[in-house]
Amino acid sequence: MRPSSGPCQSRCPLANYLLFSYTHNGSETTSDSFTYRASDGQANGNIATVSITITPVNDAPVAVADHVTVAADTTVSITFATLLANDTDAEGDSLTITSVHSPLNGSLALQAGGVLFTPAAGYEGPASFLYDVSDGRGGTSIGTVNLSVGAASASSVVVLKSLLAIAHGTGGTSVRFPITTKLVDADGSETLSIRIAGVPNGPSFNAGTNLGGGVWRFTEADLPNLTLNLPGSYTTNATHLTVQVTATELSGGFTAATSTVVTLKASYTTVDVTTTESGSYSGSSANEYITGGNGANIINAGNGNNVVHGGAGDDILSAGTGSDTLMGGSGNDTLNAGSGTDLLAGGSGDDLLIGGDAGENFVDVFAWSLGDQGAAGTPALDRIQNFATAAAGANGTGGDVLDLRDLLQGESAGPGNAAGNLADYLHFAVTGGHTVVHVSHTGGFGADSHAVGAGYSAAAETQRIILEGVDLQTLYSGATTDQQIITQLLNNKLMVD
């Protein structure tokens, strides 16, 4: 109630009041009342009630702005239900979108139950459009949809998830720390940064910036030949290092990150052993550095963490229960992984490489170096038995790895774990349940069809690897091209530069 001299609440004395008016408070109330008592100055009258009927007035809906992210040169579908989800109406009326219009930096097209927004060709940055919303009773509002075009896309990252470093003696050692990553959006609109967290005191990298607290930061230029340097007498059974790769969109500052964990196991040898030219040796429980002679050696490493060099000759090298590095050297060698995390490098010649027992929860790495290959057209032939096909994880989750970083020359994976040019280097066939990997270490398969099992440029083949008892074509859902198999192997089962 409002008298001529101002408003009042609850009880209002009549003195000096000339006129009463009633003002509704804007709520959804449809009825109200107040009471009054009249007096002639001698006696008060009875209390009377004034009932007020309020005619409802429809309130317009409230449209709240929406935000959508879309990649450049990509059409995004947005349902009307999504746009209306945060819009409100005071009376609870059902809301509908009656039109979409006014696109900025893109175009609109209607579809059943929604709208399609297509950014302008090649555009990256902010965009928007408007929509009209109605409550069906005359109330309308205009909503805004803000879009971020070309937001950062998460980059792929491939690492050797189980890293083994065994130093020769207490003087320390270094180990390659391979990280393969590429921007998905390669048009220059994004930047890439890499961080490794969990680095303990003592070890350090040969590149990058130490941010403190066990965190190192790297650029893409730091990654080739990135090395982790371990101090003397450094040991660890399982140090977990988290590798995080972040792509940042320059135009809007949007980021997308991918992370993975690398398990580092490090030790050092305390005993040096040299066999006779064609001698046999069985190791002890110590960490041993064992060197074979130039003849045919039989070396059984003990239960420590060992490094075994077969030397020349046709050698038989067997790992024990620890984590071992077996290097066959020249000759036709047999390398037998033990029950730990082992590195097997057959060297030159035709070698048999035997992984750990089926079902063991350790990662074995099979590695080739430049010079291990044969001549073009007469490839070296290496066979692998007990190759664990699960995606390689950190120590304790199993899965074996092919390491071709040093053997292949000029190779490059594509963004998003795509095959890049790797089909020029690797061709696959399946014969009798075994997968044959034909390798041209200089990329001589470029003119081939790259169909699994098809003809290939045999004159360019320099290395052949047979995964016995492994059918990668069936394992990877009937893959029909070399690129499809390579893309699957890049899930931390194939290491390339």
Residue 278 has pLDDT above 90, yes or no: no
What's the pLDDT at 43?
78
Residue 153 has pLDDT above 80, yes or no: no
- Using one digit for the tens of pLDDT, what is the confidence trace for 21-49? 777 766 666 778 888 777 767 778 788 88
What's the pLDDT at 4?
39
> What's the mean pLDDT when you consider all of the chain?
87
Mean pLDDT of 443-467: 98
Mean pLDDT of 461-466: 99
- Using one digit for the tens of pLDDT, what is the confidence trace for 365-385? 999 999 999 999 999 999 999
- Give the whole-angstrom CA distance, residue 43 versus residue 287: 114
- Give the whole-angstrom CA distance, residue 485 versus residue 462: 20
- Give the whole-angstrom CA distance, residue 361 versus residue 395: 7
* Burial (CB count within 10 angstroms: exposed 0-12, middle 13-18, buried 19+), residue 121: exposed
State the Cα torsion 441-492-181-443 to the nearest 10°. Answer: 10
Amino acid sitting at position 27? S
Residue 17 has pLDDT above 60, yes or no: no
pTM of the model: 0.69
Contact 2, 20 (CB under 8 A): yes
What lies within 8 Å, CB to CB, of 338 at 6+ separation is: 301, 318, 319, 320, 321, 322, 324, 356
- Using one digit for the tens of pLDDT, what is the confidence trace for 62-96? 999 998 878 778 899 999 999 999 999 988 999 99
What's the pLDDT at 338?
83
- Using one digit for the tens of pLDDT, what is the confidence trace for 189-244? 677 889 999 999 999 999 999 999 999 999 989 998 999 999 999 999 989 999 99
What lies within 8 Å, CB to CB, of 391 at 6+ separation is: 399, 491, 492, 493
End-to-end CA distance of the chain: 82
Q: Nearest-5° angle of CA 209, CA 215, CA 220?
A: 50
Residue 280 has pLDDT above 60, yes or no: yes
CA 185 to centroid of chain Cα atoms:
15
Residue 432 — left, alpha, or beta (φ > 0 → left; ψ -120 to 50 → alpha)?
left
Residue 12 has pLDDT above 70, yes or no: no
Residue 11 has pLDDT above 60, yes or no: no
State the Cα torsion 473-476-478-481 to the nearest 10°. Answer: -70
Instruction: Go through the domains of the chain in sequence order and give each one's CATH number.
Output: 1-57 (no CATH), 66-149 (2.60.40), 156-268 (2.60.40.740), 362-385+401-497 (no CATH)
Mean pLDDT of 90-103: 94
Contact 263, 162 (CB under 8 A): yes
- Give the whole-angstrom CA distance, residue 123 versus residue 130: 19
Q: Give me 260's structure tokens.
A: 């993975």
What's the pLDDT at 441?
98
SS3 102: strand
What's the pLDDT at 159?
82
pLDDT band, very low/low/confident/very high, at 395 (cuts 50, 70, 90)? very low
* Burial (CB count within 10 angstroms: exposed 0-12, middle 13-18, buried 19+), residue 492: buried
Q: Give me 392's structure tokens.
A: 């390689």
* Burial (CB count within 10 angstroms: exposed 0-12, middle 13-18, buried 19+), residue 188: exposed
Q: Strands of 120-219 (E only): list them.
A: 125-134, 140-149, 156-159, 162-167, 173-176, 179-182, 190-197, 204-205, 209-212, 215-218
Identify which has the larger pLDDT, 277 or 288. 288
What percent of the chain stands above pLDDT 90? 61
Mean pLDDT of 267-285: 89
Q: Give me 82's structure tokens.
A: 């999504």
- Using one digit for the tens of pLDDT, what is the confidence trace for 318-368? 998 889 999 999 999 999 998 888 999 999 999 999 998 766 678 899 999
Mean pLDDT of 116-127: 86
What lies within 8 Å, CB to CB, of 470 at 6+ separation is: 387, 389, 434, 435
pLDDT band, very low/low/confident/very high, at 5 (cuts 50, 70, 90)? very low
